[in-house]
Amino acid sequence: MFYFENLFVSFLLSVVILTTQTCSSKEQKHMSSKERIQLREEARDMFYHAYNAYMYNAYPADELMPLSCAGRYRGISPNRGDIDDSLG
């Protein structure tokens, strides 16, 4: 019986603490439309920067190596199997 009383008191205390923290938390500021549009444009610019770099430097290849700005082709040799399997 003592165990259930402690369990009930612990549960009640946790509910009170969570309710108090939830009610006393400050209202979060939502993102404005201007910020959302700005972040959308920034994401679009980053995508096209990477896409255009790939198209300019390594188009027929499977991927663009960032340091050498050269394309990397998938080989058919078995020693690259672990790389090709893990990266797609």
pLDDT string in tens for the chain (88-residue length): 555 567 777 777 777 777 776 665 566 678 899 999 999 999 999 999 988 888 888 887 777 777 787 787 776 665 655 565 555 5
pTM across the whole model: 0.47
pLDDT number for residue 22:
64
Q: Which residues contact 62 (CB under 8 A, 6 or more apart)?
A: 71, 72, 73, 74
What is the pLDDT, as a whole number, of residue 18?
75
- Domain locations in the chain as residue ranges: 32-72
Residue 35 confidence (pLDDT)? 93
Helices in 1-88 by DSSP H: which ranges? 2-24, 33-58, 81-87
